[in-house]
Amino acid sequence: MEEKPRRIDPATDRAAAAQLLGCPPDEVGYCPRCQGLTHRYGRGAQVICAACRAAETASPD
């Protein structure tokens, strides 16, 4: 069973989000699509958050 990546609400504490994302808090930023928090900057940054990328690959028709 695959777990769907969850969007991290922008109201989430930055330090908590960083822990979820596995990156330093200063590399956390907003996803341009859903405004959720993502590993936006720095090494291995993912500008589009995991939830949006999963939605993209899932293609519901």
- What secondary structure letter does DSSP report for 1? -
Instruction: For the CB of residue 8, give the shortest distance to Zn ion in the complex, in Å.
Output: 9
Decide if 20 contacts 5 (C-beta within 8 A). Answer: no
Instruction: For the CB of residue 7, give the shortest distance to Zn ion in the complex, in Å.
Output: 6
| Residue 30: strand, helix, or coil | strand
Q: Which residue lies nearer to Zn ion by CB, 19 or 35?
A: 35
Q: Does 31 bind Zn ion (CB under 5 A)?
A: yes
Decide if 30 contacts 9 (C-beta within 8 A). Answer: no
Residues that bind Zn ion (CB under 5 A): 31, 33-34, 36, 49, 52
